Amino acid sequence: MATWLKCNMQRTAICRLNNKCGGCSLLAVDYFEQLNLKKEKLKFLFATKKIKHLPEIKVFFKDEYFYRNRMDFAFSENGLSLREKGKFYKLVPVKECFIANEKINFLLKDINNWFYGNKDKLDVFDIKKRVGTLRYAVIRASYYLNVSTITFILNKNSEKLNEQKEILFEYCKKSGADNILLGYVKYNSDLSSICDYEIIKGNDILQERLKGVSYFYHSQGFFQNNSKVTEDIMEFLKEKIKDEYDLLVDFYGGIGTFGIFLHQKTKKIIIADNSSISLSCAEKNLKVNNISNAEVIMVEDSKPGVILDIIKDKKTIMIADPPRAGIHKNSLKMINEILPQKLFYISCNPEQMIKDISLLLEKYNIREVAIFDMFPQTDHIEAVSILEKINFK
């Protein structure tokens, strides 16, 4: 990624932590040049797999600052912090984050003020020694509905755990957050999304509204980090479904973000995922949006047989939005067997996406490729590829 910075379109970075904080690598690069660099990077990745006849890559973008609806801040002796660039064990204190949305910045300031006022009482976790109590403050805030949750991640092995909880209880009484959770991890765990937690204020669910659809999502589950760009992806998919289909499978579908939005494009929707907390939210989302032509199923991508049985002999479109590891080899095998008429592959790891796509090209053509700039100021790329079964009309 270092070659990305070898461009002439430099600018003065808006953030004083540029080149210190590891969160943003492209702050000093003109934004339109960032988009161009990402486009060239994606073309290069396709070329490394010798994929020919690649369609022109489209680029969609929205706000370059104040867009993220989740930030994981680590506690340090100087308050809430992010990791120093290239140094896992060093932390940089943060007073304002230019890629986090306004509500997150409000709560960041709120927690820091509380921290400085109680610093002599607080037991901050030491990353190297692996002792101490306060590990993370994970702040999530819906972009449109302004619903917010703080999850304080604590070392469950700390001798001062109960003492620190009492201090946090006092903060919770005054906090501007709608929901506050205390989450517990072992001293040697670095997880910031957890299943071992207790609710101190509010509940463990957030809500967002995208393109007129209401979505509930779990504070410890997955939700797209950039709401406005997610809406662009939703509209892009909708525009590309021209025919009538028997079935739409929202694979790795989570809370049903894409499938629910597209429910009128098909006779039936299947939302498939392996996360029980996300699928529980998907069930709720179907109900609150009055969706009657949908079904939610629990599926491990290593054992996708149930999807194979559902799709058999149906005119199908599949959306796959896997984690960074990509589509499991068994699910790729399934896709090559059942051959849905169209496959929309959404990826936060284009290199893996292209590896997966290369295994499908005996039976599919790549019809469109697009970048959706989900992560401005960083070198991360969110890409969508549309594959169409050969000879499908």
So what's the pLDDT on residue 2? Answer: 43
Taken in order 16, 21, 27, 29, the sign of the CA dihedral is: positive
So what's the pLDDT on residue 393? Answer: 57
d(CA 331, CA 338): 10
d(CA 85, CA 91): 9
Residue type, 154: L
Task: Check: CB of residue 164 under 8 Å from CB of residue 115.
Answer: no
Residue type, 309: D
What Rg do the C-alpha atoms of the chain give, in angstroms?
A: 22
pLDDT in tens, 143-194: 999 899 999 999 999 999 999 999 999 999 999 999 999 999 999 998 888 8
d(CA 128, CA 125): 9
pLDDT in tens, 196-251: 999 999 999 999 999 999 999 999 999 999 999 999 999 999 999 998 899 999 99
- At 107, give phi and psi (nearest 5°): -75, -30
pTM: 0.95
Using alpha carbons, list the distances in angstroms from residue 230 to 60, 86, 204, 235, 380: 10, 29, 22, 9, 15
DSSP letter for each residue of 57-117: EEEE---SSS-BSEEEEEEETTEEEEEETTEEEEEEE-S--TTB-HHHHHHHHHHHHHHHH
Task: Check: CB of residue 57 under 8 Å from CB of residue 39.
Answer: yes
So what's the pLDDT on residue 6? Answer: 55
So what's the pLDDT on residue 47? Answer: 94
Please return the burial class of 189, using the count of CB atoms within 10 Å of its CB with bins 0-12, 13-18 and 19+. middle
Using alpha carbons, list the distances in angstroms from residue 117 to 113, 114, 120, 132, 336: 6, 5, 8, 19, 60
Selected from 3.40.50.10470, 1.10.10.10, 3.40.50.150, 3.40.50.10490, the CATH number assigned to the domain covering 48-62+210-389 reads 3.40.50.150
- DSSP-based three-state secondary structure for 5: helix
Which of the residues in the chain have pLDDT under 50?
Answer: 1-5
Equal CATH topology for 48-62+210-389 and 70-209: no
Q: Which residue has the tokens 């927690």?
A: 111
So what's the pLDDT on residue 87? Answer: 86
* 70-76 and 79-84 strand pairing: antiparallel
Q: Which residue has the tokens 């690598």?
A: 25
Architecture of domain 70-209 in this structure? Beta Barrel (2.40)
Instruction: Report domain extents, the chain.
Output: 48-62+210-389, 70-209
Name 335's Cβ contacts closer than 8 Å, sequence gap at least 6: 318, 327, 343, 360
